[in-house]
Structure 1
């Protein structure tokens, strides 16, 4: 196995339709665009990974186009000829040669793990230390922006036993309008559901003081990234005063961010995202920092498709505790698939397969159909 080499690494942009527009504070998604990464090894085993952003450059520093370009021109050529099974050496080589690019690196690491799992006959979770559960509870984002429609959608999800945790994207509208919208939904759902909000940094600190108080007083369970990641002292103040726990998301752009956030006491919950940490192995380092500091964990998403979702899930099922569950619902937003085995959701949870690697096979015809030309 030590003599197995990486022969090629390719990146393909894929555009998949969604069930509805997905409204965020900074962007409204009309479709989901992902980069599918394929690593071909000298033993004819292929690993697949995914790099996906929310809204491209509207969210962060990488876009699908830049991810593909950097993989094709820089990151991929660095790995051709390297040992396919030595993921540690491969990722260190990338980190030394290229700063940042965590989304691209995450997809590459996922593909290397998938190939290694297939080679060894083990699920990726076992390569990451071993699973302690087989499923993960999954939240659903209510993002229509219409209060009555969001309530009806949540009630339908509860009846189907698909979701009982709901997150609302707020911040784009005036503060009082958003607060009224959230409180009305919580009152309608009552104790049958957990209701949370994600502000995506769109409040200033004065708005956040007001918003966190109203939300906490009205039973909202969690407030995600209410103010700018740059305002670290403000995050500390809000974390100390808010009745509802504050979760850091955009504040964590690398593993080192997790350490400084924990040291400052800037959040009581961390959102874990493989894309923002650089891969499934990297996100577990952030989780270890949080666990050592007594900070609770939440399994986040960049609304990846099935490949990226299962790469995240294989990491998350190895964790001792996910106090705030996960939001690995990305595949449920899509109307089309590019894999032969769609993910299984039932009893409020995503079921994580025990098949070697990520447990997925690409549907070549559908991949070709939805690939960008």
Structure 2
């Protein structure tokens, strides 16, 4: 059998409108920018990947523009002419030559997996060991900042049976104002929904000690990254004191970070993100570390579009335990699609297709329309 080679790698920046501004502690998103990776192989198969971040450089050290430039200038020359069916060798080749750049690596690994799945007639989940569930429960972020609006939005999501887990982005406002906002929403929804908060590192430890206590006492199920990722000793102390479990997110920028956090006892939940680990295979290594350490798991998002969301979903359906479910709602935040068939959300779940690869086809017309000129 002739070896299948990688013939070309193309990156496309796509700017898509969102249903509303999405307010995070460090940035307010007015739209979402995706980097779509198209990996073409000598057997005529094309693999799709996506590298997406939030807030330009406000969140991390990769931006859509740098991701595109680095893949075009550094990744592609290393991979063109290499064996397209040996994902392990291709990613090891990148890791040896390129440090960090996990968002870009994730897009490449997703595209390699998509192509191999199409080649073998298997969904990506089967390449990753085999699914143990057909769908994933998905949280929704309430990020308008307006308490009444957020309650109304949550009620609507419960009515249409799309979400019963809600995450609130807090930290940008004065702490007591944020606490009143969160507690009012939890009181309105009661036991019908799980309410969680994401602080995006915006508190210092002195504020977090009291705030975590108040949140836990008022029925908040989970507190995500309340303090700076570099304050490891503070994270350990908070994890020991908080009545609500603490989840590490920004603290995990690599598989090695996950090991270090687990060894230190700095969090009781890990947010899994393919972009921050370097791809679907890489994120499963972090999951294995967590599982071995007795740390529970949550399937996180960088608010990817359909391609990146499905790449993560195929990894997450293979996990033995996903105690805190996922937040793969990125496509629902967008008003426009660049794939032919959008992901299906119903009965509180994202359905993960069994078609070969990621199970997606690009809509060439829509892609061309929203492509950054």
TM-score of the superposition, structure 1-length normalised?
A: 1.00
Q: Secondary structure at the residue paired with 1:4?
A: coil
How far apart in 2 are the matches of 1:127 and 1:327?
23
Partner of 1:7: 7
Question: Are 2:19 and 1:16 equivalent residues in the alignment?
Answer: no
Q: Please name the residue that 2:309 is paired with.
A: 309
CA distance in 2, matches of 1:334, 1:22: 11
Cα 1:54–1:326 change in 2 (3 A) is same
Name the residue aligned to 1:77: 77
1:222-269 CA-partner distances (Å, limit 9, x unpaired) = 000000000000000000010000000000000000000000000000
SS of alignment partner, residue 58 of structure 1? coil
Residue in 2 that maps onto 1:108 = 108
Deviations 1:165-220 (A, max 9, x none): 00000000000000000000000000000000000000000010011010000000
Query: What does 1:235-250 correspond to in 2, within 5 Å?
Result: 235-250=235-250
Distance in 1 of aligned mates of 2:84 and 2:2:
8
Residues 343-366 of structure 1: CA deviation (Å, up to 9, x unaligned)? 000000000000000000000000
Shift of 1:54: 1.1
User: Quick check: 1:164 aligned with 2:164?
Assistant: yes
Q: Distance in 2 between matches of 1:211 and 1:62?
A: 31
Q: Is 1:349 equivalent to 2:349 in the alignment?
A: yes
1:1-373 aligned at under 5 Å gives the runs: 3-373=3-373
Cα deviation, residue 56, structure 1: 1.9
How many correspondences in the alignment? Answer: 373
Give, in angstroms, the shift of residue 2 of structure 1: 6.1
Q: Which runs of 5+ in 2 are unaligned?
A: none
Q: What CA distance in whole angstroms lies between the structure 1 residues aligned with 2:101 and 2:44? A: 28
What CA RMSD, in Å, does the superposition of the two structures yield over aligned residues? 0.5
Q: Distance in 2 between matches of 1:127 and 1:286?
A: 17
> How far did 1:36 drift?
0.2
| CA distance in structure 2 between the partners assigned to 1:229 and 1:334 by the alignment | 29
Runs of 4+ aligned residues of structure 1 deviating over 3 Å after TM superposition are none
Question: What TM-score comes out, normalization by structure 2 length?
Answer: 1.00
Consecutive unaligned residues of structure 1, counting only runs of 5 or more, are: none
